[in-house]
Each structure stands twice: as C-alpha cells, then as structure tokens.
Structure 1
C-alpha cells in the first residue's frame, strides 16, 4: 500500500513539476493576506506661543478651556471681524489681545453665569501670521511666524540652500519695498543690521 502511494506521488510530480517546486502560497489557498499599514500620522501638536506676548489674529483658532464647564470648552475660530462667539457671553473681541489678556476678559464675562470661572486660552492653530520662502532652497513654502524671527533664523527652516543658490543676493519683499540680504556676511558676523525681523506676510526670495 505504501509503495502504491509513493508511485502515485511520483507520477503527479512528473506530470506537473512546477507545482512540485512551487506549492501554492497561503494567499492562493484562500488565506487572508495581512492588511497594509496606514499612512504615517502627521504631527498635529498645537503651536507653542508665549501667552503673555503673542497677539491673536484673524483666522487663528483658539483652544479655550473652562474648568468643569464642557459647554464653554472647545475650539473657537477668530472671525474676520476679530471676534469669537461664546455661549451665553456672546461676541468677544479676541484679535489684538494676548491669550492671557483674553483669558482675563472671559473670566469677567463668565462670572455672571459661573462662580469663580477658571479659564485658559491657548493657540490650537496659527493662521494669521506667516512668511514665505521661495527660490533656491531645499524646502520652499509657507511658514508660521510664531515669534519674532530674523531673516537668518527664518532661512534655517528651509533645510539649507540648493547647489547654485546666490546667498549674497537674497531679497526680502516687504510690501513695495525690496530689502537686500547677504547671508554669507551675516554668517561671518558682518553687516548684522541687515538681519532684520520679519513681518507678517513677507517673502524671502533666494535667487
């Protein structure tokens, strides 16, 4: 009997040598293949700003927390008129204030409805203050202006220059004004007066 089985297997292998050398995989036999991994998650950490000095602007999204009061806690976008709207309180001016100053105003407004409210205001997303870097850099694009930033420091965000970048002829576009910036001079500690602070909406051009 055993010899008969061996003979049958030998005949099958002879008739289909490919099957013998490459037996069906688990997936081919109907086994479920492992699911592919999803895309990498982006870093969605909120921006870090100084609550005593940062000036809230139109388009910013605030994260307002009122201790033990979920009805008042959540994200608040700053509207084009510079205000936010909070339940019961109504419209509150936010643009132009620091997070700490707005917290104090909200405490006063909420004290009519809540006993000793504890209010914290932070930035969930900064949309009002940005600058741009274009030209011969590794990472051209839009950058958030979270704190006072000089041109030299701003350029470090772009992950370096391309091979043929003209580092001596960089231009900062400030409205109708064109301001020259020599990166190599500043790197050597020369003509540091050209290393100005950027203003909202300005563009750095690296030719």
Structure 2
C-alpha cells in the first residue's frame, strides 16, 4: 500500500510540474519497478546504478539512464522475447531520487533540490530562496560532471537579470552543483 501511495504522489508531482509520466527520463539513483505480466518471478524494484544501468533476470544489464518508461519497456520486452513469447513489460518510476541539483553558498536555502522538468540556473536559484546580502552574484559557477570529466559554466546573475548573456542561463542536468560565492568587499 505504501508503494502505491508513493507512486501516486510522484505522478501527481510530475503532473503538477507539467511532465507526463511517459516523458520522464530516468537518471542514476532513480528507483523503478519492472514487471512482466503473468510472470511473478519477474517483478522487482531496481535502483539505477551510477553508470545508468540495471540488471534484470533473463535480460542481463540494460541501460536505463536517459530513457523513458515506454522506451525501457520495449527494450526489455525485446530481450525477453527468446524466453517468453509476447512479453508484456511494465516499468514504473517509484522514486525520482536521481534528478537532484545542488545549490551551495550565499543563498537563503542552500541544499539539494529535486527537479522534475527542465530547470535553468535562474529557476534553481529561485528554488533556493534567492541570495543572501553577501552573495557575489557576478561570479556564480555551475559545476557539471559527465563522461569526459568535470566542467565549469560561469553564470553572472547581474547580466542575465537585465537580459544580457542569456545563453549562460543553461538548463541544468542531474548532479549539477551551483556555487554562489561570497561577495567582495572591495
């Protein structure tokens, strides 16, 4: 019963944020439930591993990261076909733990924020409650890690707020860290 309430709550949150359940893209850390109709032994909850994969019986390792539920259902069904004729696979998002961005430094409410739809730097700063009086708003950095390593994306709030340098207001990805340094006294 608890997991059904959790899944319903998650669907309500996704709907309220304008994200259809079939549009959500899985991330490392998300918890999903995979089941095969009429195959009781083929139902389990899986945490998507840091490399973006899950392991499922008869199928082996499957990459789930960046896929929607329908895409993952099709892939698992295709791989089950040699063992089960016409498998009906269902993939459900149980807990969206993987869509987290972090806002640190001189903001009113620093911390980890779950994002359920495309979110920009400005939107995340708003979720963090805006700046403290000591924020160095012209020297904000977005730290991003991907397969090639870590990159730094400069963000100048003062410019973006007046409509300049809008391309620096990038769409955030899961795991991004926004660092708002203290301001300079001189």
TM category, shorter: 0.5 to 0.7
Q: How big is the shift at 1:85?
A: 3.0
- Normalised by the size of structure 1, how large is the TM-score? 0.61
The answer as to whether partners of 1:61 and 1:77 remain within 8 angstroms in 2 is yes
Tell me the secondary structure at the aligned position of residue 107 of structure 2.
coil
- Deviation by residue 1:138-197 (Cα, 9 ceiling, x = unmatched): 221122354432111111221333344343432323435351322x43233333122122
From the superposition, tell whether residues 91 and 155 of structure 1 become closer, same or farther in structure 2 (CA, over 3 Å): same
In the alignment, what sits opposite 1:100?
70
Structure 1 residue 138 corresponds to structure 2 residue 108: yes
- Normalised by the size of structure 2, how large is the TM-score? 0.66
From the superposition, tell whether residues 169 and 126 of structure 1 become closer, same or farther in structure 2 (CA, over 3 Å): same
Aligned residues, how many? 163
From the superposition, tell whether residues 77 and 172 of structure 1 become closer, same or farther in structure 2 (CA, over 3 Å): closer
Structure 1 residue 155 corresponds to structure 2 residue 130: no
Matching of residues 52-71 of structure 1 within 5 Å: 54-71=24-41
Q: How big is the shift at 1:51?
A: 6.0
In the alignment, what sits opposite 1:194?
168
The answer as to whether partners of 1:107 and 1:117 remain within 8 angstroms in 2 is yes
In the alignment, what sits opposite 1:117?
87
Higher relative contact order (CA 8 A, sep 6+): 2
The answer as to whether partners of 1:172 and 1:181 remain within 8 angstroms in 2 is no
Distance, in Å, in 1 between the alignment partners of 2:176 and 2:66 is: 22
The answer as to whether partners of 1:65 and 1:121 remain within 8 angstroms in 2 is yes
Gaps (5+ residues) in structure 1?
1-42
The answer as to whether partners of 2:56 and 2:62 remain within 8 angstroms in 1 is no
- Larger fraction in strand: 2
The answer as to whether partners of 2:59 and 2:76 remain within 8 angstroms in 1 is no
From the superposition, tell whether residues 97 and 205 of structure 1 become closer, same or farther in structure 2 (CA, over 3 Å): closer
Which protein has the larger Cα radius of gyration, Structure 1 or Structure 2? 1
